[in-house]
Amino acid sequence: MTTPTPTASLYAPRLPIFPRRVSGFYRRLKWTLLVVTLGIYYITPWLRWDRGPEMPDQAVLIDMANRRFYFFMIEIWPHEFYFVAGMLVMAGLALFLFTAALGRVWCGYACPQTVWTDLFILVERWIEGDRNARVRLHQAPWDLRKWRLRITKWVVWLVIGLLTGGAWVFYFTDAPTLLVDLANFSAPPIAYITIAILTATTFVFGGFMREQVCIYMCPWPRIQAAMMDEDTLTVAYRDWRGEPRGKGLRRRAAAEEAEASIRAAGPQIGPRSPVIPMPGMPSGLRVPKNTVAKGDCIDCNACVNVCPMGIDIRDGQQMACITCALCIDACDEVMEKTGQPRGLIDYIALSDAPAEAAGQPPQSVWRHVLRARNLIYAGLWSGIGIALVFALFLRPEVEMTVAPIRNPTHVVLADGTIRNAYDVRVRNKQGTEQIFDLSLDKPGLIITVEGSETDKITVPADSQGQARVYVDAPAGSPLAKSARSDLRLWVTGLESGERAAVETNFTGKGTE
């Protein structure tokens, strides 16, 4: 009988991460962006914009029921989806540009997952204390104090999640009306379902999954390597300056001993997160054993302790690194205390590493940023943006489509008149109701609107009107006798004077 060979488990449980508080330029920048982005998200649905008495006054509104997107003075109709497509392409190009120039700057500063996680960690720190207090609480048994702190934190997280989900639904209908309806439990069920889903995802993603979302769920880290190259400025460790690391002139073995005691004291729970290298990027610095420690890195682990991803930037470029730059702040603080120059961890282009290691200055930031690839991205982005702005301001206030009825192509009335029928749609993009006059470019033809004595169509504000229109050619007239004639149909707003025309044709008896 053969004994089954034990296989290694492919499952690795999540190691809790307790980022330490840090201060510095990048932390302040991140706080500023957090306030700005969250402010924009929560406040925008409450901004008003006067578009006229018959139009919604919400500045930013995705009106699914009426198939409109309002953005301040801009209104996008369904047939103008190319504007949305253009903006999405611009957003993609901006992401390419920023990633090629500054690495994962989107992930580190503006991604909703990063922003909400930062907010959740801030709440956690307010309630449970900084890193060491949180580590102790994590290790403590579930007593009354631990329950009290945990429940308080979860409740605040849930409120943030609720506000997040609540703000989202306000983008889709008039916010003040929906707020009243929600409070009266008379809002549509989909509003409650959406809020519940977004509350739950915000609570779980920001509170419990955090770095797991970035490492395992988000596709962006996997494709960013294609966007970055050796000229990209990204957060990196100047190993040529920092290594061999250690405290003073002691041997590496002693340094490892010290690190073990630091870890045992609680700053790190379990081993560090595994190093997942970025494809094509150098990683996995290894310091030979028994090396005299004379680099600038004192191996204090401050950069590791502030990292929201639980990684060590000294291991090289890693997929888990969101380039939040907090390790730069932490290390700069240490460098100031030890009297060393700042920038042991910094935004660095890998192409500068050999020169810097040889004691030469790096290339200027602009040489890295203003290179062909980035200029192409910027050029494409600007070109599409300019085209969209022109298209936006040149688009007409009135549009018309004309569909000739082909079954039958024409009818002969009792007096010999030849009649053609057309389905006409008129889009009135103005904020007031308009009466439109229909006319033709050929004299002698008579135009009438079905169900009306006139040749007028009334279209409410910001709507599309539709009518069956008849064009009659008197018996014996050239158009009545011709097989097919070109025809131009005009529509003119009686009040606004706005006009639109469509080329179509008229089918006669074909006796000529």
Rg (alpha carbons) of the chain, rounded to whole number = 33
Whole-angstrom distance, CA of residue 70 vs CA of residue 86? 16
Q: Which two tokens stand for residue 406?
A: 């082909």
Cα 249 to Cα 257: distance, rounded to the nearest angstrom:
14
List 111, 302, 350, 487, residue binding ligand SF4 (CB under 6 A): 302
State yes or no: residue 121 binds ligand SF4 (CB under 6 A).
no
233 binding ligand SF4? (CB under 6 A): no
Q: Does position 127 bind ligand SF4 by CB under 6 A?
A: no
103 interacts with ligand SF4 by CB under 6 A? no
Stretch that binds ligand SF4, among 188-196, 216-224, 322-330, 373-381 (CB under 6 A): 322-330
Q: Which residue, 20 or 51, is less far from ligand SF4 as judged by CB?
A: 20
Q: Does 58 bind ligand SF4 (CB under 6 A)?
A: no
User: Quick check: 313 binds ligand SF4 (CB under 6 A)?
Assistant: yes
Question: By CB under 6 A, is residue 344 in contact with ligand SF4?
Answer: yes
What residues pair up with 492 in beta bridges, in sequence order? 437, 499
User: Which of helix, strand or coil describes residue 58?
Assistant: strand
How many Cα atoms occupy the beta-carbon half-sphere of 287 within 13 Å? 23
Q: Does 349 bind ligand SF4 (CB under 6 A)?
A: no
Residue 328 CB, nearest approach to ligand SF4 (Å): 7
Among the residue ranges 31-39, 131-139, 314-322, 347-355, the one whose residues contact ligand SF4 (CB under 6 A)? 314-322
With binding defined as CB under 6 A, does residue 38 bind ligand SF4?
A: no
Residue 238 · residue 111 · CB < 8 Å: no
311 binds ligand SF4 (CB under 6 A): yes
For 328-333, the CB contacts below 8 A with 24+ separation are 328/24, 328/26, 328/235, 329/22, 329/23, 329/24, 329/25, 329/26, 329/27, 330/20, 330/22, 330/24, 330/302, 330/303, 330/305, 330/306, 331/302, 331/303, 332/24, 333/22, 333/23, 333/24, 333/302
- Complex with ligand SF4: residue 149 or 348, whichever CB lies closer: 348
What do you get for the CA distance between the two ends of the chain, in Å? Answer: 100
Q: List, in order, residues 6 or more apart from 101 with CB less than 8 Å away.
A: 232, 233, 368, 369, 374
Question: Given the complex with ligand SF4, which of 287 and 322 has the nearer CB atom?
Answer: 322
Q: How far is the CB of 297 from ligand SF4 (least distance, A)?
A: 3
400 binds ligand SF4 (CB under 6 A): no
User: To the nearest whole angstrom, how small is the minimum distance from the Cβ of residue 249 to ligand SF4?
Assistant: 16
Residue 433: exposure state from Cβ atoms within 10 A (0-12, 13-18, ≥19): middle
Establish if 169 lies at the interface with ligand SF4 (CB under 6 A). Answer: no
Does 297 contact ligand SF4 by CB under 6 A?
yes
Q: Looking at 87-95, 310-318, 381-389, 474-482, which segment touches ligand SF4 (CB under 6 A)?
A: 310-318
| Least distance to ligand SF4, CB of residue 92, Å | 24
Contact segment (CB under 6 A) with ligand SF4 among 68-76, 313-321, 392-400, 402-410 equals 313-321
| Nearest-angstrom CA–CA distance, 451 and 293 | 94
Amino acid at site 185: F
3-state secondary structure 310-350: CCCHHHECECCCCCCCHHHHHHHHHHHHHCCCCCCEEEEEH
Kindly state whether residue 300 participates in binding ligand SF4, applying the rule CB under 6 A. Answer: yes
Size of the site for ligand SF4 (CB under 6 A): 28
Residues that bind ligand SF4 (CB under 6 A): 235, 242, 245, 297-303, 306-307, 309, 311, 313-314, 321-327, 330-331, 334, 344-345
